[in-house]
Amino acid sequence: MTMPQAHEDASTFWEGHYAKLTQPSGGRPSAILVRFAGGLVPGRALDLGCARGDDTIWLAKQGWVATGVDVAQSAIDAAQRVAENAGVAKLARFARHDLNVSIPDGAFDLVSAMFLHSPGKFDRAAALRRAASVVGPGGLLLIAAHGSRAPWSWADPDTVYPTADEELADLSLSPSGWHDVFVGPIERIATGPSRQTATVIDTVIALQRQT
Ligand SMILES: C[S@@+](CC[C@H](N)C(=O)[O-])C[C@H]1O[C@@H](n2cnc3c(N)ncnc32)[C@H](O)[C@@H]1O
């Protein structure tokens, strides 16, 4: 993944990224999503930064009416094709949104933002505040972020990763409106683009909106 130019917008960067991928997506859902959403009663889900749809399609296979959104049209076109081939196109839907600007309307039972990181112009805290605003009563807001740098990452080696508590503070959510399900680091073995592995830390925020 080439480092973006400072002026590059999210769409240009991510379309360029997906244009270079020659293999289909692996089809594996995020471990954090499976851990926190696997036991929930399916309802309406929103997957932010859905890429080529692995998480959205997994949710649809569990019975969720799942909407995946991404800034890269080519990624969501690929996701749509996979959903159709998997027979879940009625439950897995995709829409292009630049989360700097917009988010689908609604009151979702699950809003998931797995590694919604972007170089170039991206106000992550503002996008996540917008994500919180579309969680319905009793719904789960699930956010996973990189808490350490994988050896193959495009991130600057000097990157300082915020803790889950710091990231939660940035969201400025009303403490009385949310119940903490989990806020903290989770370690996992990650697999890189050449199938190499390394232990990484994910920073996870899982909050349930009060009814
Ligand atoms: C690091 S990838 C993570 C993909 C996936 N959620 C996962 O866990 O593997 C970030 C994704 O967010 C999308 N993205 C980046 N900036 C965005 C923006 N401003 N609006 C919507 N999607 C964005 C990218 O196109 C990319 O698919």
Q: State residue 1's pLDDT score.
A: 37
- Count the residues in the chain: 211
CA distances from 118 to 12, 62, 63 (A): 11, 28, 30
Q: State residue 8's pLDDT score.
A: 60
Taking CA atoms only, the protein residue closest to ligand 1 atom 17 is 71
Nearest to 30 by CA among 110, 143, 132: 143
Percentage of the chain exceeding pLDDT 90:
82
Rounded distance from Cα 177 to ligand 1 centre (Å): 27
Rounded average pLDDT over 144-158: 91
Lookup result for tokens 């000097």: 158
Taking CB atoms and a 6 Å cutoff, what residues make up the pocket around ligand 1? 10, 14, 30, 49, 51, 70-72, 75, 97-100, 114-118, 122
Q: State residue 198's pLDDT score.
A: 96
Rounded distance from Cα 118 to ligand 1 centre (Å): 7
Per-residue pLDDT of 67-87, as tens digits, reads 999 999 999 999 999 999 999
Q: State residue 3's pLDDT score.
A: 41
CA distances from 162 to 36, 41, 125, 176 (A): 21, 31, 12, 23
Closest ligand 1 atom, residue 70 Cα: 22
Q: State residue 194's pLDDT score.
A: 87
For residues 65 and 91, is the Cβ–Cβ distance under 8 A? yes
Rounded distance from Cα 194 to ligand 1 centre (Å): 21
Does the pLDDT of residue 135 top 80, yes or no?
yes
Q: Is the overall model pTM greater than 0.75, yes or no?
A: yes
Query: Which of 3.40.50.800, 3.40.50.1100, 3.30.590.10, 3.40.50.150 would CATH assign to domain 10-209?
Result: 3.40.50.150
Q: State residue 119's pLDDT score.
A: 82
Rounded average pLDDT over 141-158: 92
Which of 13-17, 54-58, 178-182, 192-196 comes out lowest in average pLDDT? 192-196
Between these two residues, 139 and 7, which has the higher pLDDT value?
A: 139
Rounded average pLDDT over 109-118: 96
Rounded distance from Cα 70 to ligand 1 centre (Å): 6
Closest ligand 1 atom, residue 51 Cα: 27
Q: State residue 142's pLDDT score.
A: 98
Q: State residue 6's pLDDT score.
A: 44
Rounded average pLDDT over 80-95: 98
Nearest to 70 by CA among 23, 109, 22, 114: 114
For residues 90 and 61, is the Cβ–Cβ distance under 8 A? no
Does the pLDDT of residue 126 top 50, yes or no?
yes
Closest ligand 1 atom, residue 14 Cα: 25
Strands (E), the chain: 44-48, 65-70, 92-96, 108-114, 135-146, 178-191, 197-209
Between these two residues, 6 and 99, which has the higher pLDDT value?
A: 99
pLDDT, averaged across the chain: 93
User: For 77, phi and psi rounded to 5 degrees?
Assistant: -65, -40
Between these two residues, 191 and 205, which has the higher pLDDT value?
A: 205
Out of 70, 111, 152, mutate this one to test ligand 1's pocket (max ligand atoms within 8 Å of CB): namely 70
| pLDDT bracket for residue 202 (50, 70, 90) | very high
How far apart, in whole angstroms, are the C-alpha atoms of residue 94 and residue 31?
Answer: 21
Query: Per-domain residue ranges for the chain?
Result: 10-209
